[in-house]
Amino acid sequence: MLEGIRIEVEGPSDLPRMQEWLSRHRGQTLELDRARQLEFGVPISAARAVLVAVTLQNGDATTAQLGGVVRAIANRSLGEPVRLVFEGRSPAHLQPEDAETAASELLGTISRLVAEGGSPQARASARAGRKEGLPPSNKDEPVAEVA
């Protein structure tokens, strides 16, 4: 049985900036290095949060090292830094402490990339939506709104 993972950290930015960055990278795979990739789903935004499915691949395209949901949750003011929360599992059956370390690194990488305003080499991912016919991302329009 897969054990659940939950990691929470202080985010690098405010909610609108997180939403813009995640929307810009929807359906993409970001190459972190030669062996590791972060794959993003389509973000869903609400009044005080943005959620997105994320997988961390580590050289094996058939089994994700981690898979779950990243939530960027606004504090009392939208201008304050968000809290980033990862909740998921390790389909690769990592030991719990290794999975927690990988999840912390995943959130740290997302925080760093958002703070820098860019991304490592990105490529469109067929599994993350291109085959389903999603249009290319337009960073100025929200992807989905939830009341």
The residues spanned by each domain of the chain are: 5-121
pLDDT on residue 141: 42
The pLDDT, as a whole number, for residue 95 is 92
Residue 121 confidence (pLDDT): 54
CATH architecture of 5-121: 2-Layer Sandwich (3.30)
Query: What's the pLDDT score for residue 67?
Result: 95
pTM above 0.85, yes or no: no
> 31 vs 28, 46, 50, 113, CA distance in Å?
10, 28, 22, 12
Per-residue tens of pLDDT for the chain, all 147 residues: 457 999 999 988 888 899 999 999 999 998 888 888 999 999 999 888 999 999 999 877 678 899 999 999 998 766 678 999 999 999 999 999 999 999 999 999 999 999 887 666 554 443 433 333 334 444 444 444 333
d(CA 47, CA 146): 8
Q: What is the pLDDT of residue 105?
A: 92
DSSP state of 135: P
